[in-house]
Amino acid sequence: MVIIMRTDADQRTIQGVIDKVADLGFTPHPIYGVEKTVVAVIGDKTQEKIETIASLPGVDRVVPIMEPYKLAARDVQPEGTRLDLGRGVTIGGEQIVMMAGPCAIESADQYLAIGRYVKAAGGSVLRGGIYKPRTSPHDFQGLREDGIPIMRQVREEFDILMISEILDPRDVELMYDVVDIFQIGTRNMQNFALLTECGRSEKPVVIKRGMCATLDDLLKAAEYVLIEDNPNVILCERGVRTFETQYRNTLDISAIPALKKMSHLPVIVDPSHAAGRPDIVPALCKAAIAAGADGLLVETHCSPQEAMVDGAQALDEFEFDQLMRDLQPFAEATKRRL
């Protein structure tokens, strides 16, 4: 259930409700919104306990949540969550956040070159895989620990946020100081130990939808992070597997407004893994913005034909710069900014 506090309730009154909820055997999760504070409550409920809570000073009303995802539900925060990612970047509001970079960090020269033009074109977050999950164990798995000092160098030189995929709960501590946003990949969407550990880190976490996952599945995965008192969760639609062979996956544009109705969490789109080819990535980016996406996660490489991972779907420097220019009027049409 969700306890919605009155707008005139001060911090002392709110804390009193939180303490009483804990005394009744619940786990309280306070969420401080722009207009109202709500307290999401996890635990077994009885009508008597609900009535007790509803009568507490400062409580406006108590709303039961019927969905299996309690903390991710839109009822918890009707106005939507805005996350401060750092360095002046906020997601979930007027800004459409561009996250871009190579699938994997291959060398210092490669990553510096990409970071330079991504930042110059207006990108807010630089992506780059330190560890890479590959279907075949014989394929390039990323530079692993050797990629960490390269990411640190690029992060400091360009003063830009970093997002990187994390594969193992044990790597949270290793990557904590250099990675600003942890990415849970599609194959790990239901790796519950990894989700829990990322939740405990308090870092922003992007969770990619599994190739065969429903939206309910995605939101229940997000719940594993939220229940650790980490509100910094971003949902990512990256396409689902279908019978079509003209592109890598089928981007589910419908998922964006659907998730916005179901949940208060920001939603971004990865058009590169959906397309698997660079020529239709710009069209998918435009469609995502029109559908209400809060950000984009795009693959770009300084030399796609030489990339060690997913070069076939990466935009080159010229294509990425042109994309950023072409997206401006679409952002303006939705009364937002890129």
Q: Are residues 34 and 162 in the same domain?
A: no
| 231 — pLDDT class (breaks 50, 70, 90) | very high
Phi, psi values for residue 300, rounded to 5°: -145, 145
What 8-state DSSP symbol labels residue 210?
A: P
Q: In DSSP terms, which residues pair with 240 in a beta bridge?
A: 250
**Per-residue pLDDT tens digits for 37-58:** 889 888 877 778 888 999 999 9
Report DSSP letters for 119-143, one per residue. HHHT-SEEE-BSS---SSTTS----
Q: Is residue 72 part of a domain?
A: no
Q: Are residues 59 and 88 in the same domain?
A: no
CATH number at residue 180: 3.20.20.70
Instruction: Say which range, 43-57, 275-289, 304-318, has the weakest mean pLDDT.
Output: 43-57
For residue 243, the model assigns a pLDDT of: 95
Percent residues over pLDDT 70 in the chain = 100
pLDDT at residue 184 greater than cutoff 90: yes
Q: Is residue 69 part of a domain?
A: no
For residue 251, the model assigns a pLDDT of: 97
Percent residues over pLDDT 90 in the chain = 79
Q: What is the CA radius of gyration of the chain?
A: 21
Report DSSP letters for 213-246, one per residue. --HHHHHHHHHHHHTTT---EEEEE--B--S--S
Q: How far is CA 77 from CA 73, 170, 320, in A?
A: 8, 32, 35
Q: Are residues 14 and 50 in the same domain?
A: yes
For residue 44, the model assigns a pLDDT of: 77
Contacts of 223 (CB under 8 A, 6+ apart): 68, 69, 70, 71, 72
pLDDT at residue 13 greater than cutoff 90: yes
| 218 — pLDDT class (breaks 50, 70, 90) | very high
Are the C-beta atoms of residues 107 and 132 closer than 8 Å to each other? no
pLDDT at residue 79 greater than cutoff 90: no
For residue 49, the model assigns a pLDDT of: 84
Cα 47 from Cα 69, distance rounded (Å)? 21
Q: Are residues 197 and 266 in the same domain?
A: yes
The residue-averaged pLDDT of 145-149 equals: 94
pLDDT at residue 145 greater than cutoff 80: yes
Q: Is residue 107 part of a domain?
A: yes
Of 158, 157, 145, 140, nearest to 104 by C-alpha is 140
Q: Are residues 102 and 60 in the same domain?
A: no
Q: Is residue 222 part of a domain?
A: yes
Sign of CA dihedral 90, 223, 236, 142: positive
Cα 42 from Cα 64, distance rounded (Å)? 11
Residue 11 is inside which H or E element, if any? helix 11-23
Q: Are residues 58 and 121 in the same domain?
A: no
Q: Are residues 16 and 111 in the same domain?
A: no
Instruction: Say which range, 6-15, 109-118, 262-271, has the weakest mean pLDDT.
Output: 6-15
Q: Is residue 163 part of a domain?
A: yes
Cα 60 from Cα 63, distance rounded (Å)? 10
Q: How far is CA 131 from CA 195, 204, 305, in A?
A: 17, 18, 21
Count of beta carbons in the 10 Å neighbourhood of residue 246? 9
Of 107, 100, 103, 146, nearest to 123 by C-alpha is 100
Q: Are residues 94 and 54 in the same domain?
A: no
Instruction: Say which range, 5-14, 35-44, 123-132, 262-271, has the weakest mean pLDDT.
Output: 35-44
Q: Is residue 325 part of a domain?
A: yes
Are the C-beta atoms of residues 195 and 159 closer than 8 Å to each other? no
Q: Which of 34, 64, 94 is the last residue of a domain?
A: 64
Q: How many residues does the chain have?
A: 338
Q: Is residue 74 part of a domain?
A: no
Q: Are residues 180 and 54 in the same domain?
A: no
Q: Are residues 247 and 295 in the same domain?
A: yes
Q: Are residues 32 and 147 in the same domain?
A: no
Q: Are residues 315 and 199 in the same domain?
A: yes
> Mapping DSSP to helix (H, G, I), strand (E, B) and coil, where does residue 164 land?
strand
- Domain assignment of residue 56, given as a range: 2-64
> Rounded mean pLDDT of the chain?
94
Supply 110's token pair: 């490669």
Quote the number of domains for the chain. 2
Cα 205 from Cα 188, distance rounded (Å)? 13
CATH number at residue 46: 3.30.70.1140
Question: What's at 230, amino acid-wise?
Answer: N
The residue-averaged pLDDT of 151-157 equals: 96
For residue 140, the model assigns a pLDDT of: 82
For residue 47, the model assigns a pLDDT of: 79
Where on the phi/psi map is residue 50: left (φ > 0), alpha (ψ -120 to 50), or beta? Answer: alpha
Q: Is residue 202 part of a domain?
A: yes
Residue 197: exposure state from Cβ atoms within 10 A (0-12, 13-18, ≥19): buried
